[in-house]
Amino acid sequence: MSKNKKNPEGQIDRRGFLKGIAATGAMATITAAHTETAAQSASENKSAAKSWRDRPDPIDESLISEVGTYDIVVVGGGNSGMYCASAAANKGASVAVIEAQAEKGYVAGAGKEVATVNSQYALDHGAPRIEVDDFLREWARRNAICHDPRRASCYVKNSGRIFDWVISFVDKKWLDENCHMFSCPPLPECLSEVSGWRFYHGTAVFLNKNNNTGLETWPVVARAHKKKAEELGAKWFFEHHAEICDVDGSGAVTGVVAKRADGRYVRFKARKGVALCAEGFAQNSEMAIDILDTYRHELEARGGNINAGASGGQGGAQSGRGVGSALSASGVKIGIIRDGSGIKMGIWAGGHLEIGPRASASGEPGGGVWFLQLNKNGERFFDEAAGSAMRQPSDNFTVTIHDANWKKVIAMRPTHHGSVDTADMTSWPPTLAQLDNVKPGPGKNSWGKDRFLRFTIQGDLYCANTIEELLGYMDCWKGETRKKALAEIQRYNEMCRKGVDEDFGKDRRIMKATELKDPPFYGTVNKGGGIGMGAGGYTFVGLDTDAEGHVLNSEFKPIKGLYAAGNNAGNRFIIRYQTPMAGMSIGMAMTEGCLLGERLAAL
């Protein structure tokens, strides 16, 4: 029987603030109307519906049928749940995986970049060995030491071993054709440090080497694990949406109640534990505006629209990934479901969210455009090599300018999200050739937006033999504003020649490489849109857990029988998703899922 109790986080009623929230199309677009009076808000609060934080009313027991009892019940079969189930099954445990997706079209492991530390595969394929202590210091620095250092240590110590085990389930020939190490071996000019921020080579990229379709092959590895786990007795229950944890009189979690596609409720009992491995909450606009503090404050300050959905490196550039419309009435739909259900279940069972600051997916140090950028006022506004940030133009209007030496610049870029992959022969040569057919002259140009620039520069492309001509072709500034832009460019070039950015502190090597001196000159005009939440379909805030995966209660003690991994576990990335390697979210989900499966099987 489920125990009905108050949420330990307390009821934070934001109904007045949340009015106007809407989930639309390819993203959950969060809007807020600030026209209500205080009296209206107070009146609404009295009759407000339950917050997502409040444990729902108990389900009538007469409506629940028993499915069975398993050692481990895994909620969600994605990048953490899949490998939790696989590891547990391979250790002899009985496993049930509750999966909201339909079996047809099941995405078992989204993504293509998987970051680990010193896997044998990485070392054998040109990745320099990573110094563990150096890596841990860099992770701590990027997170202002607000992350969980013990979880970081577990990842660093185990991820290489686990990755080698995970890929052992696929044929070596297939692996040779469908996987390579990101920019390995590194080019001599590739920087491993930018403005003091360090970067590492440990990202495996799952793409077929013989075609240029961009088809991600990482899910093939997941399917191999599912097949083996099922041979060992693990069971997948598709189109089952996990609704709530069963909590006994002592506060221990004993199982899960799920809702089938036909609307019927079923109970899964767990002998050893329930593993919350569901996706995040990018489809749940109420949770997004409540939890993502930085962006809620940004919304309050601007009074405009914020996208809680897909965003690329420069806010507002949409990747179009997975943040979709609300769930159907039955609670299931085809495709990855990111409604926050795993996190809600953990809170309703007595857990709480990580303390924060709470992260979203957005740019990172060293991950910016690098080339000169100006706003609608013709002004430079930040260190372009510092990655995307909240402090961008209010309307996202940006102009990016570079010269004929752009190939040298991108070859210098370290391995991070959005960087060009010099080991990918289906994209690196075309990347170098993408502007070959762009000639100086008036008018917009077509160019390879599916290459490296898709992550860093958006907008209409122009080309000219002089800076003055370029500004005229772009025609985005008039009169005194154009004069200001020209003066700003001249000042930037002067600082580049000095090698010192006296305005924003850009790395000296990048300053020298990005001086606008050799024609032709290129400019892109991005008129932008809303402020991007940068979720890219993903969120990175989760439940407070210890290094062993126990979900913690309000006294920071483990809740018996309840565990979390992947996007349901917090304290991985603080403030924003800025990591020393691309693909750490998937790499950590895989690693923690495996470790959790091994631990639970051993209980």
Question: Among all chains, which residue has been given the structure tokens 């013709």?
Answer: 378
How many whole angstroms separate alpha carbon 590 and alpha carbon 99?
17
Instruction: Say which CATH class 62-280+540-602 falls into.
Output: alpha beta
Instruction: Say which CATH class 372-532 falls into.
Output: alpha beta
Q: Where do the CATH 3.90.700.10 domains begin and end in the chain?
A: 372-532
How many whole angstroms separate alpha carbon 532 and alpha carbon 455?
13
**Do 286 and 576 contact (CB within 8 A), yes or no?**
no
Is the per-residue pLDDT at 378 higher than 60?
yes
Q: State the DSSP code for 27.
A: B
Among 286, 288, 293, residue whose Cα is nearest residue 308: 288
Q: Where do the CATH 3.50.50.60 domains begin and end in the chain?
A: 62-280+540-602
**Mutual angle of helices 584-602 and 149-167, in 10-degree steps:** 90
The pLDDT assigned to 32 comes to: 31
pLDDT band at 367 (very low <50, low <70, confident <90, very high): low
Is the per-residue pLDDT at 391 higher than 90?
no
User: Of how many residues is the chain composed?
Assistant: 603
Q: Residue 531's beta-bridge partner residues?
A: 306
Q: To the nearest whole percent, how much of the chain has pLDDT over 90?
A: 58
pLDDT (tens digit, 9 = 90+) per residue, 523-564?
988 876 444 444 445 788 999 999 999 999 999 999 999 999
pLDDT band at 31 (very low <50, low <70, confident <90, very high): very low
pLDDT (tens digit, 9 = 90+) per residue, 69-85?
999 999 999 999 999 99
The pLDDT assigned to 326 comes to: 28
